[in-house]
Amino acid sequence: MAQTPLFNDLLTSHQSGHALAQGFYASAEVFERDMEAVVMQEWHFAGLANEIAEAGAYMVFELLKESVIIVRGKDGNIRALANVCRHRGSRVCLEHRGTVSRFVCPYHAWTYDLDGGLLNARMMGKDLDRSALGLKPVACDVFHGMIFVSFADAPTSFADMRAELDEPLANFGLAHTKIAHRTRYPVQANWKLLVENYNECYHCGPAHPEFKLTHPTHMSADKVEPFNDAMLARAAAQGVSTAFIDRVGPFCPAGSVDYTYSRHSLYEAYDTGSKDGKPVAPLLGALKGYDQGASDLYVGMLNPILIYNDYAVIYRFVPVDHQTSIQEIIWLVHEEAEEGRDYDLEHLCWLWDVTTKADKHIIEKNQEGVNSRYYQPGPLAEMEFYTQRFLDYYIARLSA
Ligand code: FES
Ligand SMILES: [Fe+2]
């Protein structure tokens, strides 16, 4: 895409260590570039592999104009197929999930196998090269039971991430979780304001009275450090990894997805992220007990995952248009946990529901201010290090 003067001005005027200029959050043109240069190149959490356990079970994942069928094949493998008929382009799958033996386009009934191959095209004659008319494959990978999709032509690899994170993640048993709850919070703001907000806890003190009772991370690093030091022995005793792995930007191996893993301490009265600090679900995986900590895992730049001992939370930042986004949150519990018996949805979801509602409010007020004629990008605080790192990554992608 040719770069217009406006766009070049925006890029060259950006001052590292500062917020972005208004145009980055208020322009439909920049939004289109964001989608191509960043969002479509990234990986996106779509669902859990055990949601489509049987051959023919599928789910449809949608992002902006794209719709993808994620299906378990007869060979047991999970594939992602563009939900676009190779005849005249109709959506093939209209239901969001189900189980089928083949996919039949609702328009003229072209029929596709579970691996996307074209099985039958009515009245098209023997000469039609069916082998060239299968549903197009979309990049798809499964990491600890979590299915990720990318729309990139040359998507980054999970190999380095697997090699380094398989062990630290092993005891959490993420591949043996189920989705207890999945919900969407519409936010009237540019998608980057959601990501920036998630990446810093500078706002947690003033904005999150509930979170701040649970996680000391609302304080400066020197104050948080003693809590983390005290957690190390507890974590070791409970089979929880306290590895610190940071493979983002210059630390990311060539061709690899960016990834991170770290663990931080909660306040000691808190076993987990809950209203009273008491557990809200059975222990995950092979954990032995509570270390009063939580792990931060990133798969790519857009999939932060927070892992307590009894549940995990996956975040998705879903862009809709230049000033509309969706914050999606997915709560995972042990796959054998039963609602009503082992967990109560209200208790399980309380902290991240109340926190996300507060985030929605502050992010929308952020967007309103950014839209003002008086807005000027200000300097970031030390506690906004990861936000700055996201902005550096973003500017580098757009400049490439
Ligand atoms: S568009 Fe699918 S069969 Fe015609
Ligand atoms: Fe927040």
Q: How far is the CA of 347 from the centre of ligand 2 (A)?
A: 19
**Which domains does the chain carry?**
43-142 (2.102.10.10), 157-399 (3.90.380.10)
For the CA of 85, the nearest atom of ligand 1: 2
Residue ranges around ligand 1 (CB below 6 Å): 85, 87-90, 105, 107-110
| Per-residue pLDDT at 4 exceeds 80 | no
pTM: 0.96
The pLDDT score that the predictor gives to residue 8 is 87
Q: Give CA–CA dist 26/274, Å, rounded.
A: 36
Q: How far is the CA of 283 from the centre of ligand 2 (A)?
A: 26
Q: How far is the CA of 110 from the centre of ligand 1 (A)?
A: 6
The pLDDT score that the predictor gives to residue 7 is 83
| Per-residue pLDDT at 1 exceeds 60 | no
pLDDT digit string, tens, across residues 55-111:
999 999 999 999 999 999 999 999 999 999 999 999 999 999 999 999 999 999 999
pLDDT digit string, tens, across residues 299-310:
999 999 999 999
Provide the 8-state DSSP code for 26: H
Q: Give CA–CA dist 311/295, Å, rounded.
A: 11
C-beta of residue 65 within 8 angstroms of C-beta of residue 32? no
Q: Give CA–CA dist 195/179, Å, rounded.
A: 23
Q: Long-range CB contacts (< 8 A, 24+ apart) of 10-19?
A: 11/395, 11/398, 11/399, 14/395, 15/377, 16/388, 16/391, 16/392, 16/395, 17/379, 17/380, 17/388, 18/377, 18/378, 18/379, 18/380, 19/196, 19/377, 19/378, 19/380, 19/391
